[in-house]
């Protein structure tokens, strides 16, 4: 699995004009390929009068799904450069649709490639991106007497506390980088005089 990837912080739009053609890039996060396809369909419907609605998306932390469409532009001049820009920026779980309203001046293949790829790059800068890092999920079980202190120290150390459950004992769900697991075990043993239990779980991605 990838240790980290980048995605868009939110949905957003950036528009530019190149040789009298309007290029409008709509970006959105997409957790699944279906979400990406639904976003593409919504933009195409909103801009049904446009000359072209070209798109590209990358799904999966390892970029396992990569698809693009030129939507009538000469082959390889729109969707592919859009996809390449997303990959060059290490973007994942993201969909981009560039809507073009033709302004009467032909750009040529090179001009189209620069226009479509460049518009996506400008949109990423405008909308903003964030980095998501891979974390190990774990459960820390501790007695009630020590639970408050452990929670406070976890939060003051910047650890991600995902949930706290109270029963006969207190279970604190946390997420931490894999590289920190051994050091965390040692810290936990010291902080609770060896009374806490540490149970590693699966993996997830979280904002850095």
User: What domains sit in the chain, N to C, each tagged with a CATH number?
Assistant: 4-127 (3.30.230.30), 132-207 (3.30.70.240)
Look over the chain and give the mean of its residue pLDDT values, rounded to a whole number. 93
pTM confidence score: 0.77
Asked whether the predicted pLDDT for residue 120 surpasses 90, the reply is: yes
Per-residue model confidence (pLDDT) at position 155: 87
Q: How far is CA 131 from the centre of its chain?
A: 7
**pLDDT level of residue 205 (50, 70, 90 thresholds):** confident
What is the strand order of the sheet 12-18 is part of? 12-18, 21-29, 94-101, 52-59, 65-69
* Distance (Å) of CA 103 to CA 21, 39, 72: 4, 25, 16
**pLDDT level of residue 107 (50, 70, 90 thresholds):** very high
Asked whether the predicted pLDDT for residue 115 surpasses 90, the reply is: yes
Per-residue model confidence (pLDDT) at position 208: 60
Per-residue model confidence (pLDDT) at position 77: 97
Look up residue 104 and give its DSSP letter.
S
Cβ atoms within 10 Å of 101's Cβ, excluding its own: 16
**CB–CB of 79/55 below 8 Å?**
yes
Cβ atoms within 10 Å of 71's Cβ, excluding its own: 19
Asked whether the predicted pLDDT for residue 72 surpasses 90, the reply is: yes
Give the CA-trace dihedral at 146, 152, 155, 156, to 10 degrees: -130
Asked whether the predicted pLDDT for residue 1 surpasses 70, the reply is: no
């Amino acid at each position: 699995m990838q240790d980290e990837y980048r995605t868009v912080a939110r949905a957003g739009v950036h528009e530019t004009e190149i040789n009298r053609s309007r290029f409008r890039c709509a970006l959105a996060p997409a957790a699944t390929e279906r979400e990406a396809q639904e976003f593409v369909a919504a933009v195409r419907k909103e801009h049904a009068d446009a000359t072209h609605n070209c798109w590209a998306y990358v799904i999966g932390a390892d970029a396992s799904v990569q698809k693009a469409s030129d939507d009538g532009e000469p082959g390889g001049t729109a969707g592919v450069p859009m996809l390449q820009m997303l990959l060059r920026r290490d973007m994942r779980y993201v969909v981009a649709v560039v809507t073009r309203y033709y302004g009467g001046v032909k750009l040529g293949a090179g001009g189209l490639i620069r226009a479509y790829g460049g518009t996506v790059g400008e949109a990423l800068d405008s909308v903003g991106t964030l980095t998501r890092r891979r974390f190990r999920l774990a459960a820390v079980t501790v007695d009630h007497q020590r639970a408050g202190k452990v929670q406070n120290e976890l939060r003051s150390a910047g650890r991600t506390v995902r949930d706290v459950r109270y029963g006969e004992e207190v279970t604190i769900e946390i997420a931490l980088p894999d590289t920190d697991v051994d050091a965390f075990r040692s810290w936990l043993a010291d902080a609770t005089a060896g009374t806490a239990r540490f149970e590693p779980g699966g993996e997830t991605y979280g904002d850095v």
